[in-house]
Every structure is written in C-alpha cells, then in structure tokens.
C-alpha cells in the first residue's frame, strides 16, 4: 500500500513540478536520483562536397532537343529499315562477333524502346501496306538561327524531321547534310520564328580522363533526361571506320541518346553520343562519343556545302608491330605499313609500293594507320603533300597529289598471269610451315602450320598464301629461303611475310632461325 502511494505521489510531483523544483527535490532526498539520458548529435562530415550539376543543366537544357524522323518506306514484315550509319553500312554487314551487331540485332529495328514504332496495318487489316516508321534520337542547337547537330544514323533514310524542344514545342526541320564516315548530320529549323538557345563546342584536347561530363538527351523516347559521369578513356577504336577516335564515358547512355551532347562543367559540348557497348542493350557504363574536335570540323563543312570532301591516298595499310619494325630495320614500331596500293590511286601513281612504311606527312610523324587516315582526310582533294617513306632500309620522300575519297574503296588485284607450277609440297620446317606453289602461280599456298610454331601464334592458317617475303615476290620455297639467307646476312632476326586470305592481305613478321 505504501509503495503504491509512493508511486502516485511521485507521478503527481513530476506532473506539477518545474525542472528547478525537481532538481531541488532530488537534492533534498524527496525523489530518487536518476541520470538524464545523453542524446547523440546528428552525423556531420566536414569534407569537400561534389559539385552540383544543376546550374549546368539549367543553362544547357533549352539547347538540347529530341529528333523525330519519319520516312516513306515500302517494307515487308521480315525486312529492316535500320542502318547504324557508319560508312554507309547496315548492321548486317558487320562481322558476326562484332558487339554492335549483337546489339542492333537484338534491340534495333522495330524496338519500341529504341523509338521505332511498329508498322501500321491497312484499314482492311490484310497485311502491311506502306509504313511510316519513326525513329527518335537527340540533338542540340549550335546557332541561334536553328542549326541542329545529331547523328547520321538517327536521320538516315528519313524524309521528314521534327524537332521537339525542351518545353514540348514541335518544329519542322530540313536536312542540310550528313557524313556517314563520322556518323554526323546537320539539320536546320525551317522558317524559324525565334532565336534559339545554343551551345558551343569545347576544346576537347583539354579534357582529361577522370573529368566530369553531363549527358543530356532523349533515352527511350522519354524526353529531356540528364545523367552524369566521367571520361573513362580517350582515343577508342570500336571498329566502325578509319576515323575512330571516340571518347568513352561512363554516364548512363541508352537507346535514344544518339546525337545528344556531353557537356563539361562550363556548359560546352565535349562529345556527341553515338554508340554504346552492352550485352543486354541497356546502359552498363560504356558509351562512346564523337569528340568535339572532330565534330566541329565536319559540321563546319556540312554547314558550308552540305558535304564533306576528304583527301585520298588510296593505299591499304596495317599497323607496324615490334616484330615488323625489327624485320624492316625500323628503330621503333610506328607508322603505317602499306599492304597494297590501289590501282590508279594517287599513292600508286606517285610511286608508293607494297611494303613501304609511311612514317610522316608534311614532316609530322605518323603514329599508326588511324593517324595516317585522319591526317590525309584533313586535306582537301587536290592538295599536294610530302609523304615520308621507309623502304629497303632507308628513308625517302614522295610528293603525292591527293585525290577525292570515293564512296567505296576496294583493294586492287594484280593482272599478271602465270602458268601453274607443279603442286609439289615443300617444307620450311624451321618456320613451322609446309607450302606448295599456288595453282595460279602467284605465291605459295600454305599446306600445313605447326601448331607449336610462331606462325600459328601469329594466326597463319592452312589454305592461306604467302605472296612475298621482305617485299620480294616468291613462287617457291627456294625463293623464300634465299630471302631469309639475305636477311640473316643483313643482321635481321625477323622476316616480313605477306599473307593473303579470303579476307584480304596482311603482313606478319616471323623469326628467322639463326643456324
């Protein structure tokens, strides 16, 4: 009973007492003494904060648009009107193991997510008639009077173009010009009634791996969407063409972002999204953008005349490896090795030969085949350039008047004919090769390759042909052995074999047995 009264009295005191009174009561012994609980402070981190992208996005968003493309195409249900746009090729022409081919086969032609609407049936419901497939991509204004940059593969085969602005307003546009080799296109708003917010190209040479980029575009047809990431690599070659020099970014880029810009923190365009690598078709953090330095020059030419004219040398080339450099007596593995000059091309007319190594153009060193292709393409047709060549162990210069790059290039064959030689198999045991004279009299057919040999390691296969060794034509094993003996006397440790297959011609450096 007394305990119950005590508890009741304690509650009454708590209810009616002030904090000061409670403290006095405790000190007088009227109440039991208890320790007040200690409450933790909220977590605060004193560290530099990641900058917000809100200011950049607010400034550039009005300049970024969605691009809708409509075309009149007669098409059956099993046909595809999709073309990736590199080099004028459709995705079906890419190698079977090419990552972009897998992507477009699974997610390209009629994907609702990609922005292509399903074909409409005729009113009578019998099959499919004339269809108007619509593709959707992204783009951005580069002038206040309505010039818009996007991808060539976004507008490819289109007949009408609609620009959807950030506020939802729709405008008609016309195609000024396009360039399939760099996958760029230029549109222009028809009869603009306003001045547009526009953006400029950055000097992307100043951008470094690790720098922030903000991607703005139209993924999956959703409209203006912003993602951010960093530049994860530069100078990427994805096998789309001779001018590959992509910026790789890890910002989320998906189908529909094509043609959209990547901005630096100053609101300048550093790249134009053009492709992604993804086994699933969605973003996995690997996207490729055309550098602004490339886009700036191409777009200026499209704006000026609607087309891009490039200088043309007309030679098939391949990289110079360490082994090839050693076999040719070059001090370093750089330059572009001429596999074959095209018949009638500017290079062939000027005297460039098979087996030459192009080391410089107008005194500027050539790093590799891509570097040579870009340097030559930068000149106007008709320009005379000074091409530095490494031939037969010494340097020489050749003046070449460049032609105009044709739409299609092919490797020229030889017109020489010889009577067939006996197909007597001969062995080059120390090279890991068994050969016989080719039936057409041009070179040696490879009968067998030792799987443990350097030749096998370099990818040489039976059925291919050896057409030259150290740039000297061979039609018998004796010819090969003579060339190898001379190479030994010259102090060479490797010899340069020209291998011909159904995929074309290439050079392979093989070690010479030092007996």
Catalytic residue annotation: 153, 183, 258
Radius of gyration over every alpha carbon of the chain, rounded to an integer in angstroms: 34
The DSSP secondary-structure symbol of 159 reads: S
Q: Which helix (H) or strand (E) holds 300?
A: helix 292-305
| Phi, psi dihedral angles at 114 (to 5 degrees) | -75, -20
Distance CA 175, CA 271 (A): 21
SS3 content of the chain, % helix, strand, coil (to 5): 20, 30, 45
CA distances from 141 to 163, 307, 382, 407 (A): 10, 19, 33, 29
The DSSP secondary-structure symbol of 28 reads: T
The DSSP secondary-structure symbol of 239 reads: S
Among the listed residues 200, 182, 205, the one whose alpha carbon sits nearest the alpha carbon of residue 301: 182
Distance CA 440, CA 358 (A): 31
Three-state DSSP state, 167:
coil
Given a contact cutoff of 8 angstroms between Cβ atoms, the answer to whether 450 and 440 are in contact is no
Q: What is the 3-state secondary structure (H, E, C) of 62-126?
A: HHEEEEEEECCECCCCCCCCCCCCHHHCCHHHCCCCCHHHHHHHHHCCCCCCCCCCCCCECCCCC
Given a contact cutoff of 8 angstroms between Cβ atoms, the answer to whether 64 and 217 are in contact is yes
CB half-sphere exposure, 363, CA atoms < 13 A: 0
Buried b (16+ CB within 10 A) or exposed e, 319-346: ebeebbbbbbebeeebbbbbbbbbeebb
The DSSP secondary-structure symbol of 243 reads: T
Given a contact cutoff of 8 angstroms between Cβ atoms, the answer to whether 330 and 366 are in contact is no
């Amino acid at each position: 009973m007394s305990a119950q009264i005590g508890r009741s009295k304690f509650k009454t005191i708590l209810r009616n007492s002030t904090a000061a009174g409670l403290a006095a009561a405790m000190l007088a012994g009227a109440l039991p003494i208890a320790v007040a609980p200690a409450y933790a402070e909220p977590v605060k981190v004193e560290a530099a904060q990641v900058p917000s992208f809100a200011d950049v996005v607010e400034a550039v968003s009005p300049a970024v648009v969605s691009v809708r493309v409509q075309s009149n195409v007669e098409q059956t249900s099993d046909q595809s009107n999709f073309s990736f746009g590199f080099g004028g090729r459709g995705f079906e022409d890419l190698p079977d193991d090419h990552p972009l081919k897998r992507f477009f086969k699974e997610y390209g032609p009629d994907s609702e997510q990609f922005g292509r609407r399903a074909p409409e049936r005729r009113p009578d419901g019998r099959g499919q008639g004339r269809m108007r497939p619509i593709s959707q991509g992204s783009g951005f204004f580069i002038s206040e009077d309505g010039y818009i940059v996007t991808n060539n593969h976004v507008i490819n085969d289109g007949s009408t173009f609609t620009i959807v602005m950030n506020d939802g307003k729709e405008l008609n546009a016309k195609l000024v010009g396009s360039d399939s080799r760099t996958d760029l296109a230029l549109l222009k708003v028809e009869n603009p009634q306003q001045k547009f917010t526009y953006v400029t190209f950055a000097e992307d040479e100043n951008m470094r791996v690790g720098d922030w980029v903000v991607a703005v575009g139209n993924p999956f047809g959703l409209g203006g969407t912003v993602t951010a990431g960093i530049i994860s690599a530069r100078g990427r070659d994805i096998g789309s063409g001779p001018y590959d020099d992509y910026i790789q970014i890890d910002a989320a880029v998906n189908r529909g972002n094509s043609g959209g810009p990547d901005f630096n923190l100053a609101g300048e365009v550093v790249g134009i999204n053009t492709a992604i690598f993804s086994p699933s078709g969605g973003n996995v953090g690997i996207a490729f953008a055309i550098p602004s330095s490339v886009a700036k020059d191409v777009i200026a030419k499209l704006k000026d005349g609607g087309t891009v004219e490039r200088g043309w040398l007309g030679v098939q080339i391949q990289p110079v490896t360490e082994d090839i450099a050693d076999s040719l007596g070059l001090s370093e593995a750089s330059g572009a090795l001429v596999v074959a000059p095209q018949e009638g091309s500017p290079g062939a007319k000027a005297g460039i030969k098979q087996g030459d190594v192009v080391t410089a153009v107008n005194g500027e060193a050539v790093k590799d085949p891509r570097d040579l292709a870009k340097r030559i393409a930068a000149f106007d047709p008709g320009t005379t350039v000074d091409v530095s060549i490494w031939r037969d162990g010494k340097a020489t210069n050749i003046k070449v008047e460049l032609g105009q790059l044709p739409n299609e290039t092919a490797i020229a064959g030889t017109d020489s004919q010889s009577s067939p030689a006996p197909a007597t198999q001969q062995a080059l045991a120390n090279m890991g090769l068994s050969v016989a004279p080719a039936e057409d009299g041009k070179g040696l057919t490879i009968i067998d390759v030792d799987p443990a040999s350097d030749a096998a390691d370099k990818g040489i296969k039976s059925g291919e042909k050896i057409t030259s060794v150290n740039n000297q034509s061979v039609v018998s094993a004796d010819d090969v052995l003579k060339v190898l003996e001379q190479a030994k006397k010259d102090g060479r440790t490797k010899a340069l074999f020209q291998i011909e297959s159904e995929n074309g011609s290439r050079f392979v450096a093989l070690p010479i047995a030092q007996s």
